[in-house]
Amino acid sequence: MANIHTNHYLENNKLYAGGQAVHKPAYPGKQPINPAKHVAVVACMDARLDVEDMLGLQTGDAHIIRNAGGVVNDDTIRCLIISHHLLNTNEIILIHHTRCGMLAFTDDLLKAGLEGDPAAEKLLGQATGRAFTSCKKSSAMPSAFHAFRGPLEPLDGPRNARQTERLEWDVRRGMSAILNHPWIPTSGPDAVTVRGFIYDVDTGMLGEVSYPGTMGSFG
């Protein structure tokens, strides 16, 4: 029975990529608080991702947790622990995507630009195609932007092997962070499953990322 709903949503994704509408947008009426399919999805906030549509989720099926990059940070883990232990989810789907903005900068570069470094401002402006306006102030928060590891890619650049590898690295790092957290069980009667994917914004298709595997380098 493990992954039964995840597998179903992958089939829905094929229909979506083929042009079929699987998600029903109408208000479904009164529903219980627990997600009906016991699924939690972690995905990027990118405007090109409509998680309900791409997976054919219906209202009430799943928790959807979104942030810049779909990264597994402290707040993501917080949400997943609550989702699992209090609201009975046991299948976790992690989704990154092609052409992601998190490939186009590093944490240090963005911080330097926000603090007013002219060279960083210039690079960020080139990356985004718009004037980067520095705040010229330093801040302790956020402590990290969680830019993806590896050599920089142009913002919204077409998919290539290096971009795909960097996305796979971060998906695996996110999966590892979930699977190795002491409060998220991966064995026994209360175990969760975790699977990771890359969504292609040009085709609408999800491609699964193997795990375990390499999680990247700074080179």
Annotation-wise, does 75 bind a ligand?
no
To the question of whether residue 44 is assigned a binding role by annotation, the answer is: yes
For Cα atoms 69, 73, 77, give the angle at the middle one, nearest 5 degrees: 120
CA dihedral 69, 73, 79, 84 (to 10 degrees): 100
Q: Where are the alpha helices (DSSP H) in the chain?
A: 4-17, 51-55, 74-87, 107-115, 118-128, 161-179
CB 97 within 8 A of CB 200: yes
The answer to whether the annotation marks 79 as part of a ligand binding site is: no
46 known ligand binder: yes
Residue appearing with tokens 């956020």: 142
Burial class (CB in 10 A: 0-12, 13-18, 19+), 20: exposed
Are the beta carbons of 87 and 65 closer than 8 angstroms? no
Please state, in angstroms and rounded to a whole number, the distance separating the CA atoms of residues 219 and 214. Answer: 14
Binding-site annotation, residues for Zn(2+): 44, 46, 97, 100
